[in-house]
């Protein structure tokens, strides 16, 4: 319903707006017992005005000591707390959803949830998942929230600005969005949803409900301007005079974000300052055969990042390769059924060389990344990608097409065909330039049903496949991977159980077997948060012309406990290798 007054976002449902708001109370279990009534009552109140979408939440508990809520960092509450998550598929295309979540203390979580896609790098999901997908948590939105513990559980309020979302323009008509609400009750290992979710259908987005009737939304454009100013002073002690002369180096920068339309966003930056970005998580670098991947953390590059992302064994766009941008611009969004992304940047890092006689000294690299994707139907699309990096007389170019097709409620197939062309300086004769070409092909099929689930994929990456704009962990690969599992659902004291097996092997382009993996196991999920599984793995890895074999046996027992309002877990793992 349309609101006449704004609520005070403090987590308490005492504002007048909630007395006339739309109220949702009918929730059903997704797990452990699919379709059964929720064991705890949930109330959701919905209202909106020209600028914001408002939610009031009341999570009831028959035993309030069961509440799990902690004051944790943003996006971390979903790991162990009871939360309520709200999903919006604003284009109603079953391709992507915005996710907003909150716990009993008002800790925010936000993410972008994409549709499924088959490919050699993903490996396919396992059938019969419990819980709901959270999506990519690197996406951050501006919204207000508040939460508080009450006598019978917890309450919360959210105000989500329409400016934080992208949605199509519908003129004077009412908007129709895909919509879902999910609540996690950790103490019972229970997930309840507003729109029923069936294990007979693969994917979460196709099973969302509808949010409709909103009209007259504000057409004002989002404008953010963030200037930066930094200064560094360096100097050394003058031992003859005792003075400390210094040289100051002030620098200014500017970041700008502007909503061209409700579904297109322009980002621009000049001399950005990334000094406030969180540091990378540590990774072990010792005895690593292949390069390590570090995720992008800089806000300018995170906006619309999901548009440039393709599933598979290669990251075709890895903006960490743009190390020190002097300036950059980006347009991302969706027009009709076409999702588009265009990024240009000037990177000064390649020209910061020690040898002033090097032809590249003082020069900068120009980067172009473009992406188009046309949505066909639910979780299905055709797309194209082009990247180009020019530096001095060298370049690195990539072009390719991709697609994903949902064949049935449970099965989908995806493919990628990519080619690269690189011009680099010859290592032995620096006056010469060498051109190299490489291809990558990837195709995979995934099926996730109530009982049977399987995945099979094959991909090849040529020895000369390379892109200076992406991240290629390993080349010279001809690989096939597969997995199959079956799951029974007694949904009693034994929730589900079933066996699974996987097999994969990898040859190089000289048809030498480099890796082989075989595994088999069985898993059990019991009531009261108890899980048990056992597995045997037989692997072979070739290194230095020698085959190294390894057999391992593992058994895992996990118990997630809840006593007197405290949370805890117990895990026992036994691993034997020979």
List, for residues 520-552, the tens digit of each pLDDT value: 999 999 987 788 999 999 999 998 889 999 999
Res. 430: pLDDT tops 80: no
* Beta-carbon-side half-sphere exposure of residue 191 (alpha carbons within 13 Å): 18
pLDDT of res. 578: 64
Measured between alpha carbons, how far is 215 from 209 in angstroms, rounded to an integer?
Answer: 18
Res. 235: pLDDT tops 80: no
Res. 226: pLDDT tops 60: yes
Rounded alpha-carbon distances, angstroms, from residue 214 to 53, 141, 217, 325, 449: 10, 21, 7, 41, 35
Query: Any bridge partners for residue 330, and if so which?
Result: 267, 343
What are the tens digits of pLDDT across the range 139-178?
Answer: 888 899 999 999 999 999 999 999 888 888 888 889 999 9
Res. 197: pLDDT tops 60: yes
Measured between alpha carbons, how far is 331 from 378 in angstroms, rounded to an integer?
Answer: 25
Number of domains in the chain: 2
Res. 230: pLDDT tops 90: no
Other beta carbons within 10 Å of 208: 23
Distance of CA 10 to the CA centre of its chain: 29
The region of weakest confidence among 200-214, 248-262, 324-338 is 248-262
pLDDT of res. 278: 73
Domain of residue 541, residue span:
493-577
What are the tens digits of pLDDT across the range 456-469?
Answer: 999 999 999 999 99
Q: What CATH number should be reported for the domain holding residue 181?
A: 2.60.40.1190
Structural domain ending residue among the three candidates 186, 214, 242: 214
Res. 44: pLDDT tops 90: yes
Nearest to 289 by CA among 419, 476, 421: 476
pLDDT of res. 122: 44
pLDDT of res. 210: 95
pLDDT confidence band for 124 (50 / 70 / 90): very low
In a domain, 513, yes or no: yes
The region of weakest confidence among 124-133, 327-336, 432-441, 454-463 is 124-133
In a domain, 353, yes or no: no
Measured between alpha carbons, how far is 18 from 55 in angstroms, rounded to an integer?
Answer: 9
- What percent of the chain lies above the pLDDT cut of 70? 93
Structural domain ending residue among the three candidates 181, 214, 247: 214
Res. 116: pLDDT tops 80: no
pLDDT confidence band for 291 (50 / 70 / 90): confident
pLDDT of res. 238: 75
In a domain, 224, yes or no: no
pLDDT of res. 575: 64
Give the residue, 247 or 200, on which the prediction is more confident. 200
Cβ contact 551:536 at 8 Å: yes
Measured between alpha carbons, how far is 91 from 565 in angstroms, rounded to an integer?
Answer: 41
Q: In terms of residues, how long is the chain?
A: 578
In a domain, 430, yes or no: no
Sign of the Cα torsion 128, 198, 68, 141 reads: positive
In a domain, 350, yes or no: no
- Mean pLDDT, the chain, rounded, equals 88
Res. 4: pLDDT tops 80: yes
What are the tens digits of pLDDT across the range 74-109?
Answer: 888 878 899 999 999 999 999 899 999 999 999 999
In a domain, 550, yes or no: yes
Give the residue, 228 or 181, on which the prediction is more confident. 181
3-state secondary structure string across 118-150: CCCCCCCCCCCCCCCCCCECCCCCCCEEEEEEE
Res. 565: pLDDT tops 60: no
pLDDT confidence band for 391 (50 / 70 / 90): very high
In a domain, 79, yes or no: yes
Taking residues 406-428, report their average pLDDT. Answer: 92
Cβ contact 438:462 at 8 Å: yes
pLDDT confidence band for 325 (50 / 70 / 90): very high
pLDDT of res. 139: 84
| Predicted model pTM | 0.84
pLDDT of res. 150: 94
Nearest to 540 by CA among 507, 514, 512, 501: 514
First to last CA, the chain: 65
What are the tens digits of pLDDT across the range 198-225?
Answer: 999 888 999 999 999 998 887 777 788 8
Structural domain ending residue among the three candidates 214, 230, 246: 214
Measured between alpha carbons, how far is 127 from 411 in angstroms, rounded to an integer?
Answer: 11
- What percent of the chain lies above the pLDDT cut of 90? 59
What are the tens digits of pLDDT across the range 409-419?
Answer: 999 999 999 99
Res. 298: pLDDT tops 70: yes
Across 110-119, 216-225, 347-356, 391-400, the highest mean pLDDT is recorded for 391-400
Rounded alpha-carbon distances, angstroms, from residue 28 to 104, 130, 156, 200: 21, 14, 21, 16
In a domain, 397, yes or no: no
The DSSP code for 350 is G
Contact residues for 298 (Cβ-Cβ < 8 A; gap 6+)? 272, 274, 277, 319
pLDDT confidence band for 571 (50 / 70 / 90): low
Cβ contact 521:528 at 8 Å: no
Verify cis geometry, omega within 30 degrees of 0, for the bond prior to 32: yes
What are the tens digits of pLDDT across the range 353-386?
Answer: 888 888 888 899 999 999 999 999 988 999 999 9
């Amino acid at each position: 319903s349309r609101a006449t007054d704004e609520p005070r976002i403090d987590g308490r449902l005492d504002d007048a707006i909630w007395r006339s708001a739309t109220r949702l109370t009918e929730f059903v279990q997704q797990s452990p017992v699919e379709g059964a009534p929720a064991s705890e009552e949930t109330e959701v109140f919905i209202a909106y005005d020209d600028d914001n979408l408002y939610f009031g939440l009341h999570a009831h508990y028959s035993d309030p000591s069961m509440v799990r809520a902690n004051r944790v960092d943003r996006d971390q509450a979903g790991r162990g707390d009871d939360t309520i998550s709200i999903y919006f598929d604003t284009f109603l295309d079953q391709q992507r959803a915005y996710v907003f979540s909150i716990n009993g203390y008002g800790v925010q979580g936000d993410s972008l949830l994409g549709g499924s896609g088959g490919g050699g790098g993903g490996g396919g999901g396992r059938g019969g998942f419990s819980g709901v997908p959270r999506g990519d948590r690197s996406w951050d939105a501006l919204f207000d929230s508040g939460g508080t513990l009450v006598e019978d559980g917890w309450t919360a309020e959210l105000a989500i600005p329409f400016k934080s979302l992208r949605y199509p323009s519908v003129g004077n008509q009412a908007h129709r969005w895909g919509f879902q609400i999910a609540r996690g009750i950790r103490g019972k290992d229970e997930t309840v949803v507003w729109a029923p979710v069936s294990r007979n259908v693969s994917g979460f987005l196709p099973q969302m409900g509808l949010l409709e009737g909103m009209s007259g939304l504000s057409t004002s454009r989002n404008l953010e301007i963030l200037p930066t100013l930094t200064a560094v002073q360096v100097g050394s002690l003058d031992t003859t005079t005792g003075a400390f002369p210094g040289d100051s180096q002030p620098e200014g920068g500017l970041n700008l974000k502007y909503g061209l339309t409700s579904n297109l966003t322009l980002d621009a930056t000049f001399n950005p300052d990334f000094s406030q970005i969180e540091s990378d998580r540590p990774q072990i670098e010792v005895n690593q055969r292949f390069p390590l991947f570090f995720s992008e953390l800089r806000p300018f590059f995170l906006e619309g990042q999901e548009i440039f992302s393709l599933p598979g064994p290669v990251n075709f766009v890895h903006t960490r390769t743009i190390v020190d941008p002097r300036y950059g611009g980006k347009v991302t969004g969706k027009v009709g059924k076409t999702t588009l992304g265009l990024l240009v940047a000037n990177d000064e890092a390649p020209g910061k060389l020690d040898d002033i006689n090097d032809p590249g000294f003082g020069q900068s690299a120009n980067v172009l990344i473009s992406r188009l994707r046309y949505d066909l139907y639910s979780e299905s699309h055709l797309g194209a990608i082009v990247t180009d990096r020019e530096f001095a007389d060298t370049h690195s170019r990539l072009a390719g097409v991709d697609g994903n097709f949902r064949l049935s409620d449970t099965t989908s197939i995806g493919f990628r065909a990519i080619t690269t062309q690189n011009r680099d300086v010859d290592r032995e004769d620096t006056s010469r330039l060498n051109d190299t070409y490489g291809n990558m092909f990837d195709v995979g099929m995934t099926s996730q049903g109530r009982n049977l689930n399987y995945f099979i994929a094959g991909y090849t990456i040529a020895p000369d496949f390379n892109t200076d704009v992406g991240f290629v962990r390993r080349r010279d690969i001809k690989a096939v991977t597969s997995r199959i599992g079956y799951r029974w659902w007694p949904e009693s004291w034994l929730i589900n159980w079933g066996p699974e097996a996987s097999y994969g092997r990898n040859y190089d382009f000289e048809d030498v077997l480099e890796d082989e993996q075989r595994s088999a196991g069985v898993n059990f999920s019991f009531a009261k948060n108890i899980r048990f599984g056992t597995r045997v793995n037989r692997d072979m890895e070739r290194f230095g012309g020698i085959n190294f074999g390894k057999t391992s046996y593992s058994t895992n027992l996990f118990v997630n406990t809840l006593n007197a309002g405290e949370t805890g877990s117990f895990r026992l793992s036994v691993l034997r290798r020979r």
